[in-house]
């Protein structure tokens, strides 16, 4: 597994296939394997003739992290993604993020627009602007001594997932407690690249995809039928829609 240095942290990534590059950024408490390899995204995209790069965000997967909330936040992790592209000598690529990864992708597109040809926001709609949920029950669940101590339903689900993936629970808690910087409607409107907003029709976490898309100059919505936040990531409609979107971006020769 390759690693690179990002501001003193050793971060893991995968780099497979050949062709036009696409960077994949996973969601909170997940990792490159759970979010992108196991659901078939890496196989799908490499078979479609793409070079696929997927990062383990700091504090996630095989990447180093810390237990200090100040070391996290989407803008900070967007800089990790930018450093990975620089490390690989990739000047410009398409980017897809899911949930927290979508927020990271938005900051990457805003702060490094020259590196992002197009962007796919999976599992996040208008929640990008308003924020999603209360972080405290999740952080407390991750910090609890054992799963049986956790009573909050959402916190329990995240704690069980973290245990299953053998994650650094305290790093994840620090990430959850970080300054969860929102993006204003005005800043969202500055994302000039082509955007696909892909959200499950049963997703009660993401917020309205249509409301987010209306803020973006070049966005369209992909509804993922009958899927909630957790299962939409591997859906065949999502995959087909992303391939169609990327083919359109390539065909149009987006500047």
* pLDDT reported for residue 176: 92
In a domain, 124, yes or no: yes
What range defines the domain where residue 74 resides?
A: 3-131+180-252
In a domain, 140, yes or no: no
In a domain, 163, yes or no: no
In a domain, 138, yes or no: no
In a domain, 157, yes or no: no
* pLDDT reported for residue 54: 98
In a domain, 16, yes or no: yes
The CATH number of residue 75's host domain is 3.40.50.1820
- In 3D space, the residue among 105, 79, 80, 84 whose CA is nearest the CA of residue 94 turns out to be 105
In a domain, 115, yes or no: yes
**Per-residue confidence of the chain (255 residues) as pLDDT tens digits?**
899 999 999 999 999 999 999 999 999 999 999 999 999 999 999 999 999 999 999 999 999 999 999 999 999 999 999 999 999 999 999 999 999 999 999 999 999 999 999 999 999 999 999 987 788 999 999 999 999 999 998 899 899 989 988 899 999 999 998 866 779 999 999 999 999 999 999 999 999 999 999 999 999 999 999 999 989 999 999 999 999 999 999 988 765
* pLDDT reported for residue 218: 97
* pLDDT reported for residue 57: 97
Kindly report the three-state secondary structure assignment for every residue of the chain: CCEEEECCEEEEEEEECCCEEEEEECCCCCCHHHHHHCCCHHHHHHHCCEEEEEECCCCCCCCCCCCCHHHCCHHHHHHHHHHHHHHHCCCCEEEEEECHHHHHHHHHHHHCHHHEEEEEEECCCCHHHHCCCCHHHHHHHHHCCCHHHCCCHHHHHHHHHHHHCCCCHHHHHHHHHCCCCCCCHHHHCCCCCCEEEEEECCCCCCCCHHHHHCCCCCEEEEEECCCCCCCHHHCHHHHHHHHHHHHHHHHHCCC
* pLDDT reported for residue 132: 79
* pLDDT reported for residue 179: 63
Q: How many domains does the chain have?
A: 1
In a domain, 158, yes or no: no
């Amino acid at each position: 597994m390759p690693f690179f240095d990002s501001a003193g942290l050793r971060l893991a990534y995968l780099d497979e296939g050949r062709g036009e590059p696409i960077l994949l950024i996973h969601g909170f408490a997940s990792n490159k394997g759970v979010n992108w390899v196991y659901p078939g995204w890496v196989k799908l995209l490499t078979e479609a003739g793409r070079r696929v790069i997927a990062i383990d965000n700091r504090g996630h997967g095989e990447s180093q992290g810390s237990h200090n909330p100040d070391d996290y936040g989407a803008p900070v992790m967007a800089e990790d993604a930018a450093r990975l592209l620089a490390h690989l000598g990739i000047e410009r690529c398409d980017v897809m993020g899911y949930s927290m990864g979508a927020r990271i992708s938005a900051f990457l597109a805003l702060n490094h627009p020259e590196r992002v040809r197009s962007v796919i926001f999976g599992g996040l709609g208008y929640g990008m602007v308003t924020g999603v949920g209360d972080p405290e029950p999740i952080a407390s669940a991750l910090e609890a001594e054992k799963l049986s101590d956790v009573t909050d339903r959402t916190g329990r689900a995240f704690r069980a997932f973290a245990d299953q993936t053998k994650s650094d629970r305290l790093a994840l808690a620090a990430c959850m407690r970080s300054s969860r910087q929102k993006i204003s409607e005005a800043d969202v409107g500055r994302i000039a690249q082509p955007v696909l907003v892909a959200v499950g029709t049963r997703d009660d976490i993401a917020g309205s995809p249509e409301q987010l898309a209306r803020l973006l100059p070049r966005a369209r919505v992909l509804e993922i039928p009958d899927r909630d936040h957790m299962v939409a990531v591997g859906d065949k409609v999502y995959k087909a829609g992303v391939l169609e979107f990327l083919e359109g971006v390539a065909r149009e020769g987006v500047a």
